[in-house]
């Protein structure tokens, strides 16, 4: 099977530039009309990982979301906008997140309905399950006639890269994500199987990636914004991820979601199985994209990996000077490894920590950094 991924240039978040970039990415795939029919309810699901402003490059930029909402409407669809960040989500916190990430402005400018995945949930079956046979997801996801995901190209401390497959984790409402993390622990392989199981349960119709400014280094929350200048589109999330990794120099074979999708026959094994449309990969490569530090020790054989993880691996550390004592990290920590009391800076009990880095993702202040234990600092390893 040949997969198709389209690459278009888009150098800035100027709204008209983004509209042109999104349209250019969709054109070789047949345009939005190929994926959306008149009257269909279309869930537009960006990556709204946490309540950060668009310039932090943590969340999908509102200009991309707005351009896609407009495309859906032009194609005759009825767009609805929603996502579920990790941790405890209340109506108030979701509203705050929508405002801070620029989604409220998109909804106001387009008249698009906004949905919350916390309001109602349903159980869905994963037909090609390897790790999880069923999932609890937002009813708004299951009810949609079409789902269009809008991932952001970023690094990730656990899965090394977060893109079109990883963004599906947002189908699972807030705190329920922690339950799944508890099952997979620190194992990026099992967590990636979970993501692909979720993909088999509810595969999106289309993925349009915001790679105008991505994130390198300590993603998905505390890395550095990195100009890439692209919008990518595909009807295959794994194929889109394979191409995006190739552009920024992340070895696709080292990214579990990409490698496993190929092995499971739900994505391309390599670029030979992908028809790249629009720009050529060689012309848009980012040669010095900074990889996540956690990727280095992942190459060790399994019998050394465990010892290396305790002595050398990165772990979350709280920087008290930046902490506002909100407790979000403790609420969202799957094994309850973070101790927190009102008015106090939390503390992490490392022997319970499964290195999922949810706390780093959830901290609104960037007060949790993934750092190296003393042994690594001393040896410079
Ligand atoms: S302390 Fe952070 S990295 Fe460790 S288990 Fe809790 S959320 Fe995950
Ligand atoms: S570390 Fe971050 S999430 Fe945790 S209490 Fe402090 S500010 Fe809140």
CATH, residue 114: 3.40.50.11440
- Residue 292 in domain: no
- Residue 294 in domain: no
pLDDT at residue number 306: 58
> pLDDT over 90 for what percent of the chain?
72
- Residue 295 in domain: no
168: pLDDT strictly greater than 90: yes
On whether both 252 and 341 belong to a single domain, the answer is no
pTM for the model = 0.85
- Last residue in a domain, options 284, 317, 338: 284
On whether both 160 and 95 belong to a single domain, the answer is yes
Distances (CA, A) of 340 to 145, 319, 323: 42, 14, 12
Count of structural domains within the chain: 2
On whether both 321 and 256 belong to a single domain, the answer is no
- Residue 291 in domain: no
On whether both 315 and 278 belong to a single domain, the answer is no
Whether the CB of 326 sits within 6 Å of ligand 2: yes
| Stretch (H or E) spanning 106 | helix 103-110
pLDDT at residue number 97: 92
380: pLDDT strictly greater than 70: no
356: confidence class by pLDDT, cuts 50, 70, 90: confident
Our mutation pick for probing the ligand 2 site, out of 329, 358, 359, counting the most ligand atoms within 8 A of Cβ, is 329
On whether both 304 and 236 belong to a single domain, the answer is no
Whether the CB of 314 sits within 6 Å of ligand 2: no
- Residue 212 in domain: yes
Whether the CB of 67 sits within 6 Å of ligand 2: no
Q: Among residues 109, 120, 116, 62, which one has the least CA distance to residue 93?
A: 116
Q: How many Cβ atoms from other residues are within 10 Å of residue 56's Cβ?
A: 18
Task: Compute the distance between CA of residue 22 and CA of residue 230 in angstroms, rounded to an integer.
Answer: 9
- Residue 340 Cα: closest atom of ligand 2: 5
Burial 238-270 (b: 16+ CB within 10 A, else e): bbbbbbbbbbbebebeebbbbbbbbebebbbbe
On whether both 258 and 308 belong to a single domain, the answer is no
- Residue 20 in domain: yes
DSSP three-state, residue 79? strand
Tell me what the mean pLDDT of segment 349-365 comes to: 86
pLDDT at residue number 277: 98
On whether both 263 and 311 belong to a single domain, the answer is no
What is the span of the domain harbouring residue 347? Answer: 300-379
90: confidence class by pLDDT, cuts 50, 70, 90: confident
pLDDT at residue number 178: 81
Q: Considering only residues 213 and 308, tell me which one the structure prediction assigns the higher pLDDT.
A: 213
Q: Rounding to the nearest 10 degrees, give the CA dihedral for residues 122, 41, 175, 347.
A: 170
CB 78 within 8 A of CB 37: no
Q: Which two tokens stand for residue 64?
A: 């991309």
- Residue 339 in domain: yes
- Last residue in a domain, options 284, 315, 346: 284
CB 270 within 8 A of CB 42: no
84: pLDDT strictly greater than 80: yes
Tell me what the mean pLDDT of segment 125-138 comes to: 93
- Residue 134 in domain: yes
On whether both 113 and 64 belong to a single domain, the answer is yes
Tell me what the mean pLDDT of segment 135-150 comes to: 97
On whether both 258 and 330 belong to a single domain, the answer is no
CB 22 within 8 A of CB 128: no
Q: Considering only residues 221 and 319, tell me which one the structure prediction assigns the higher pLDDT.
A: 319
The Å distance, Cα 306 to ligand 1 centre, comes to 17
Q: Give the pLDDT confidence of 223-263 residue by residue, as tens digits.
A: 999 999 999 999 999 999 999 999 999 999 999 999 999 99
289: pLDDT strictly greater than 50: yes
pLDDT at residue number 377: 56
Q: Give the pLDDT confidence of 98-131 residue by residue, as tens digits.
A: 999 999 999 999 999 999 998 899 999 998 899 9
Our mutation pick for probing the ligand 1 site, out of 333, 367, 373, counting the most ligand atoms within 8 A of Cβ, is 333
311: confidence class by pLDDT, cuts 50, 70, 90: low
On whether both 33 and 133 belong to a single domain, the answer is yes
Whether the CB of 316 sits within 6 Å of ligand 2: no
312: pLDDT strictly greater than 60: no
Tell me what the mean pLDDT of segment 321-329 comes to: 94
The Å distance, Cα 114 to ligand 1 centre, comes to 30
pLDDT at residue number 381: 44
On whether both 79 and 122 belong to a single domain, the answer is yes
Give Cβ neighbours of residue 82 (< 8 Å, ≥ 6 apart): 43, 44, 45, 114, 115, 116, 117, 138, 140
pLDDT at residue number 255: 95
pLDDT at residue number 304: 62
Tell me what the mean pLDDT of segment 137-151 comes to: 97
- Last residue in a domain, options 284, 313, 339: 284
- The CATH number of whichever domain residue 329 belongs to comes to 3.30.70.20
Q: Give the pLDDT confidence of 40-81 residue by residue, as tens digits.
A: 999 999 999 988 999 999 999 999 999 999 999 999 999 999
On whether both 249 and 330 belong to a single domain, the answer is no
């Amino acid at each position: 099977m040949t997969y198709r991924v389209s690459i278009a240039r888009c150098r800035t978040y100027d709204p008209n530039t983004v509209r042109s970039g999104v349209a250019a990415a969709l054109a070789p795939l047949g345009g939005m009309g190929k994926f959306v029919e008149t009257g269909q309810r279309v869930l537009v699901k960006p990556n709204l990982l946490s309540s950060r402003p668009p310039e932090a490059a943590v969340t999908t930029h509102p200009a991309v979301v707005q351009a896609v909402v407009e495309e859906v409407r032009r194609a005759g669809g009825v767009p609805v906008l929603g996502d579920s960040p990790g941790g405890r989500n209340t109506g108030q916190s979701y509203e705050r997140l929508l405002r801070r990430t620029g989604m409220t402005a998109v909804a106001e400018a387009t008249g698009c309905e906004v949905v919350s995945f916390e309001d109602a949930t349903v159980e869905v079956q994963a037909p090609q399950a390897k790790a999880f046979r069923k999932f609890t997801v937002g009813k708004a996801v299951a009810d949609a006639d079409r789902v269009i995901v809008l991932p952001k190209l970023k690094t990730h401390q656990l899965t090394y890269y977060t893109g079109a497959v990883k963004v599906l984790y947002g189908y699972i409402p807030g705190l329920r994500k922690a339950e799944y993390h508890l099952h997979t622990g620190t194992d990026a392989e099992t967590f990636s199987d979970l993501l692909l199981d979720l993909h088999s349960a509810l595969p999106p119709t289309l993925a349009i990636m915001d790679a105008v400014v991505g994130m390198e280094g300590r993603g998905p929350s505390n890395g550095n914004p990195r100009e890439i200048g692209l919008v990518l589109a595909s009807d295959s999330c794994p194929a889109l991820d394979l191409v995006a990794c190739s552009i920024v120099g992340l070895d696709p074979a080292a990214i579990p979601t990409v490698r496993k999708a190929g092995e499971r026959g739900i994505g391309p094994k390599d670029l030979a199985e992908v028809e790249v449309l629009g720009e050529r990969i060689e012309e848009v490569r980012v040669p010095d994209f900074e990889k996540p530090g956690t990727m280095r020790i992942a190459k060790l054989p399994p019998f050394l990996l465990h010892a290396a993880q305790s002595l050398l691996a990165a772990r979350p550390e709280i920087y008290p000077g930046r902490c506002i004592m909100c407790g979000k990290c403790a609420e969202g920590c799957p094994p309850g490894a973070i101790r927190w009391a009102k008015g106090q800076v939390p503390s992490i009990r490392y022997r319970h920590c499964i290195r999922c880095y949810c706390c780093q993702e959830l901290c609104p202040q960037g007060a949790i950094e993934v750092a190296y234990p003393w042994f690594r600092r001393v040896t410079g390893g």
